[in-house]
């Protein structure tokens, strides 16, 4: 086994707070996480990535490992992928797995809003919930695997975690509740450090909290993504962080299009429509009830 191989993975959930978690771990001297966090590796999730040799994964994401005790990466897709647990167990049977679990109703709304910001969604939230099944079936190629429009499936935690429990003992899994994690910052992170076997004395600095963004025009956001293509995320992040995008400018129209992107984004979080909330409460009811037998925290407030 390569000494650079990971011994822990942050597996999700998507839109569950994994960015906050990893940001608080980055400065610990005994923990290694790749400095580049976007795009996430998704090695065990994306079939076209997993087809590459395991050494590719190690050389790409862990080449800078020195003498850290805890070596890992964050891919919020891992919790969702049906083959991920089996693939992980094949290469890393002793891996420690961290899950940040958020109210699935709020998670679905957060996931939708993120997909809109990313220029991948034109429909209203109510429409995507009603058309979700047919849209998933209609997806082809890589999109059939990534399933960007599967907003509810990523919140069926009992179903997903049960798959991991087929391959890994519960002692190798740490399940954290997103809503409460960070309220007692030092003690919450001490629990993570204890799980990873690193010093618990490290003082965590509160990770930055960037404004939650929304868009004025969903269709315009889709068009802007088509224009910027693989640079789109860079311009969105420049907007989020209120940075000058000068380093990403390549063409004469880029600055004009960036100003259009910035004007299409608003820095306030929209409330979930009531009809959507009622729909999701009913959808997730049974899975939340089953989840109680797996997690060691209360889900009574998941309404």
237 within domain boundaries: yes
Residues 6+ apart with CB under 8 A from 80: 12, 13, 14, 45, 147, 153, 154, 160
273 within domain boundaries: no
As a whole number of angstroms, the distance between CA 42 and CA 50 comes to: 9
- Are 217 and 74 found together in one domain? no
Let me know the angle formed at the C-alpha of 76 by 296 and 145, rounded to the nearest 5 degrees: 120
Count how many domains the chain has.
2
- Are 123 and 252 found together in one domain? no
| Residue 49, pLDDT score | 96
- Are 229 and 286 found together in one domain? no
- Are 184 and 236 found together in one domain? no
| Residue 118, pLDDT score | 92
Residues 6+ apart with CB under 8 A from 77: 12, 14, 40, 42, 45, 46, 84, 146
Kindly state the DSSP code that residue 9 receives in the 8-state scheme: E
pLDDT digits over 52-77, tens only?
Answer: 999 999 999 999 999 999 999 999 99
Angle of the 274-291 helix axis to the 125-138 helix axis, nearest 10 = 60
- Are 181 and 261 found together in one domain? no
Reading phi first (left if > 0) and then psi (alpha if -120 to 50, else beta), residue 124 is in beta
- 190: CATH: 3.40.50.300
pLDDT digits over 259-302, tens only?
Answer: 999 999 988 888 999 999 999 999 999 999 999 999 999 999 99
276 within domain boundaries: no
Residue 141: Cβ-neighbour burial (10 angstroms; 0-12, 13-18, 19+): exposed
- Are 204 and 221 found together in one domain? no
196 within domain boundaries: yes
Instruction: Write out residues in the chain with pLDDT < 50, as ranges.
Output: none
């Amino acid at each position: 086994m390569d000494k650079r191989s990971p011994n822990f993975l942050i597996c999700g959930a998507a839109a569950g707070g994994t960015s906050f978690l990893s940001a608080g771990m980055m400065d610990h001297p005994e923990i290694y996480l790749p400095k580049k966090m976007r795009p996430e590796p998704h090695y065990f999730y994306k079939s076209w990535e997993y087809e590459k040799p395991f050494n590719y994964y190690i050389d790409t994401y862990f080449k800078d490992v020195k003498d850290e005790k805890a070596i890992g990466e964050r891919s919020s897709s891992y919790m969702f992928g049906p083959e991920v647990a089996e693939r992980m167990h094949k290469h890393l049977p002793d891996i420690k797995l961290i899950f940040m679990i958020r109210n699935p109703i709020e998670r679905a709304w957060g996931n939708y809003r993120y997909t809109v910001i990313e220029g991948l969604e034109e429909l209203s939230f109510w429409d995507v919930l009603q058309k979700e099944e047919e849209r998933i079936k209609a997806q082809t190629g890589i999109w059939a695997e990534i399933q960007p429009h599967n907003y509810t499936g990523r919140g069926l935690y009992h179903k997903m975690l049960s798959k991991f429990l087929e391959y890994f003992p519960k002692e190798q899994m740490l399940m954290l509740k997103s809503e409460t994690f960070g309220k007692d910052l030092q003690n919450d992170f001490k629990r993570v450090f204890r799980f990873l076997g690193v010093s618990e004395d490290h003082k965590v600095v509160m990770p930055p909290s960037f404004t939650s963004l929304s868009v004025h025009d969903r269709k315009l956001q889709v068009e802007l993504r088509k224009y910027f293509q693989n640079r789109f995320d860079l311009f969105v992040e420049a907007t989020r962080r209120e940075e000058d995008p000068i380093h990403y400018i390549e063409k004469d129209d880029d600055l004009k299009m960036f100003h259009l992107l910035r004007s299409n984004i608003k820095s306030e979080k929209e409330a979930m429509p009531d009809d959507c909330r009622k729909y999701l409460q009913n959808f997730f009811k049974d899975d939340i009830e089953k989840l109680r037998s797996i997690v060691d925290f209360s889900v009574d407030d998941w309404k």
